[in-house]
Each structure stands twice: as structure tokens, then as C-alpha cells.
Amino acid sequence: MNAITFDVEIKGARKQFGSNVVLNDINLEVKQGELLTLLGPSGCGKSTTLNLIAGFLEADQGDVYIKGKKVTKVPPYKRDLGMVFQTYSLFPHMTVLENLSFGLKLRKVAKTEQKKKIDRVLELVKMSGLEHRYPRELSGGQRQRVAIARALVVEPELLLLDEPLSNLDAKLRHELRAEIKRLQKEIGVTTIFVTHDQEEALSMSDRVVVMNAGKIEQISTPTAIYNHPETEFVFQFIGKSNSFEGEVVDTEDRKITVKVGEEIIHVDSANIIGENRSLRAEDEVKLYIRPENVHISSTREASSPTLELQPAKIIQLNYLGTSWEVDVSLQGKTIQLLTNSYDSTWQYGSEVYVGWNPSEIMLTKK
């Protein structure tokens, strides 16, 4: 029988600082060659989790495995990993070349071999020719590139990146994001990336681990995290949404009928968020719909049979470059939507039609 072995496994990890439980029963499996992201708000335990894997911290309970071997008691330098931290972690008194050769010397790699490896990683991170600069002579983005090169040059089994882009401006962050993703796939090194930026997590990862207050809320692909959140926290943390309160009128098979004010709204039962999936008539619920799932049209004719459009009034129009953000008033409620099909006659006060498909509404029990 072929047992599945993961590159990294955390089993039942718990970590406490004083009376503060920082990690509570963390279970995690990282596949070979995967880019897995730990995502969550500040203080939720992302760095602590990464430090358990790196060996800078030891869990109070539970174990860490790398390539099937228990490493709970193995010191960091014996774990064969490359790590990049949030703040620049280069040696300031060493040139780029010296920074890169440091780990190779420790590993007693021959001089000629060192040069080959360094040339290759510098090329990978597009820093060839800057070998003799000191960190202070480099821009922030260049420094982070060198930090990544230094982590990669020793050809680690595992690459750990703790918010390596958070000190950079938006444009550079975007560029390096794409570059890390390209590099990671090119080399195929199993990578754990930490961020509190949901867009960064969704755009870079094979899978995302959403963490909240020392616990894992959900582990899924980026599209599943966005479209099928398993907990209300995940839904609220990722993306924007409009919300309404309502009362269940009827539940049958896969359709739930909810009354919101005087309106009747239908929801697919597959779209219930959270563990409590059984609903009954008179239950109070909250409905959510993402701005990009609210359809808008100048006419009442709907583009699909499940879409029922209702009259609304535009109360705000914001141009975002590639799309328009529109606020409309629908029966006294403000609803925000995002659209690419903009009608140039729209202005403040324009009468329009808006609506959504039942499959695009999500629901939680209150």
C-alpha cells in the first residue's frame, strides 16, 4: 500500500505563551512542491506556526514532521530549510555575494560550485551584476530579492516566507508576488508563505490556510475559499459583501425561501455557511451577496432565466479603472455592486434594474 507522505505535517500542535493560548490544535499537511499560504489577521498565530516548522519554537503539545520524519526536537539548522523574514534579513556588513556564499560555506560547498550556484540564483531573481553591492546600496525590492536568493541558494527542501513583501510599495509587491510564484514553480520547492493580505494569498497560492485566533478555519484552494467559505469568519475576512436580515419561510430539498422585509428571496441550501446547516421555518438568518454577483441593467430583460431584476436607483458611481463600483437604492436599502458593463447614460438618480441568482446568495443562521 502506498501511504501518502507529505513534505510537512503538523499534528495536534498547541502553543501557549504564559496564559495566552496562541495555537490550539493545529493540524496541517503540506504537499510536495506546493505553495501553501497561511492567511489571517494580525496576531492569529501565523508566524508562530511557521516558527514551529522552522524549529525556532517548540510546541507544548503535538509534533512536526518534515518528509515523514519527526523533527519536533531537531534544531533549525538541521532542518534543511530556507527562510525569509518580513524585515530585511541580510547581513548589512556583507556584499550580496558574501551574503549568498555564507550558507554555502557553512555547508562546505567547493568554491567553484559556490560560484555556479550563486550565478544561477542571481539570474533567477534578476539580480545578476549586483554581486558587489552592500544591502544599503540596494532598493527595498532588490534587498528582498537577495534575501529570497539567499534562502534558495542552499537548495533547501523547504522554503518558509514570513510576509516577505509587506515592507514594499504596491507596485513592487505585485511584481515580486508574480516572481516568487514563477520561481517556486520553476524550482518546485515546497513553500509555506505567510501573509495577512487576502489578495496576495488568493493570487499566489495552490492552497490557502485561513487562521483565526490560533485555530485553522479552512484549508482550500483560493477559489473554494472565496466561493465556498466554510465559516462565517472566512467569508467576512475574504472579500466584500452586502448583507440583509431575514426569516426562513420554507425549506424544501435544496431551496430555502427567506422573507426579507416584504421581499421573498430564494437561496440554494448548498450556500449555507457554517456547521449549522439545518434550518427551519421562522429561523432568523443573514443573507450575503458579493458586489460582483449583483447584476445591473438599464432594462428589465434579464440575461438568464434565474435572474429576476427589480427596479432600483443609482446613488453613487465610482470608477475603479477596470470596473465600476455602483451603489443603488433598492426598496430603501443600499446595495453595492461591481460591474464591467457600464452604461454611459447612468448618473446619480438613474433608474436601473438589479438582481442576482439564487446560487450567488450565501446564508448564515443568526
Ligand X SMILES: Nc1ncnc2c1ncn2[C@@H]1O[C@H](COP(=O)(O)OP(=O)(O)OP(=O)(O)O)[C@@H](O)[C@H]1O
Which residues contact ligand X (rule: CB under 6 A)? 17, 22, 40, 42-48, 196
- Closest CB to Mg ion among 122 and 165? 165
Candidates 8-16, 40-48, 137-145, 290-298; binding stretch for Mg ion (CB under 5 A): 40-48
Q: Are 49 and 38 in contact (CB under 8 A)?
A: yes
For 135, the 3-state DSSP assignment is helix
Is the CB of 64 or the CB of 335 nearer to ligand X? 64
Q: Which is nearer to Mg ion, 43 or 188 (CB)?
A: 43
Minimum separation from the CB atom of position 51 to ligand X (A):
8
* Residue 45 binding target from ligand X, Mg ion, none, CB below 5 to 8 Å by type: ligand X
The stretch among 45-53, 64-72, 184-192, 316-324 that binds Mg ion (CB under 5 A) is: 45-53
Q: Between 142 and 195, name the residue whose CB sits nearer to Mg ion.
A: 195
> Among Mg ion, ligand X, none, what binds residue 22 when CB lies within 5 to 8 Å by partner kind?
ligand X
Give the shortest CB-197-to-Mg ion separation in angstroms: 12
Q: Give 19 or 347: the residue with its C-beta nearer to ligand X.
A: 19
Helices (H), the chain: 46-54, 96-106, 111-124, 140-153, 170-187, 198-204, 222-227, 232-237
Rounded to the nearest whole angstrom, what is the least distance from the CB of residue 366 to ligand X in the complex?
A: 29
Which residue lies nearer to ligand X by CB, 20 or 112?
A: 20
Give the nearest distance from C-beta 87 to ligand X in angstroms.
11
Tell me which of ligand X, Mg ion, none is bound by residue 43, counting a contact when its beta carbon lies within the kind-specific cut-off of 5 to 8 angstroms.
ligand X
3-state SS, residue 337? strand
Q: Is 51 in the site for Mg ion (CB under 5 A)?
A: no
What CA–CA distance (Å, rounded) separates 360 from 131? Answer: 53
Q: Hey, is 317 helix, strand or coil?
A: strand
Least spacing, CB of residue 45 vs ligand X, in Å: 4
In the complex with Mg ion, which residue's Cβ is closer, 124 or 194? 194
Residue 17 interface partner, choices Mg ion, ligand X, none, CB cut-off 5-8 Å depending on type = ligand X
Asked if 254 contacts 271 with a C-beta cutoff of 8 angstroms, the reply is: no
- Residue 261 binding: pick among Mg ion, ligand X, none (C-beta 5-8 Å cut-off by kind): none
> Residue 48 binds what, of ligand X, Mg ion, none (CB under 5 to 8 Å, by partner type)?
ligand X
Contact 124, 184 (CB under 8 A): no
DSSP string, 28-46: EEE-TT-EEEEE-STTSSH
| Structural contact between residues 353 and 309, judged by C-beta atoms closer than 8 angstroms | yes
Of residues 36 and 338, the one with the C-beta less far from ligand X: 36
Position among 37, 47, 89, 142 found at the interface with Mg ion (CB under 5 A)? 47
Rg for the chain, CA atoms, rounded: 25
Cell numbers placing 356: 442576482
CB of 218 vs Mg ion, minimal distance in Å: 19
Helix axes 170-187, 140-153, angle to 10 degrees: 20
Q: Between 162 and 360, name the residue whose CB sits nearer to ligand X.
A: 162
Query: What 3-state class would DSSP assign to 265?
Result: strand
Angle between helices 111-124 and 96-106 (to 10 degrees): 130
Helix (H, G, I), strand (E, B) or coil at 180: helix
Q: Which does 239 bind (CB under 5 to 8 A by kind): Mg ion, ligand X, none?
A: none
Task: Please name the residues in contact with 50: beta carbons below 8 A apart, sequence gap of 6 or more.
Answer: 38, 160, 162, 192, 194
Three-class SS state of 255: strand
Contact partner at residue 164 from Mg ion, ligand X, none, CB < 5 to 8 Å by partner kind? none
Least CB distance from residue 234 to ligand X, whole Å? 16
Site for Mg ion, rule CB under 5 A: 47
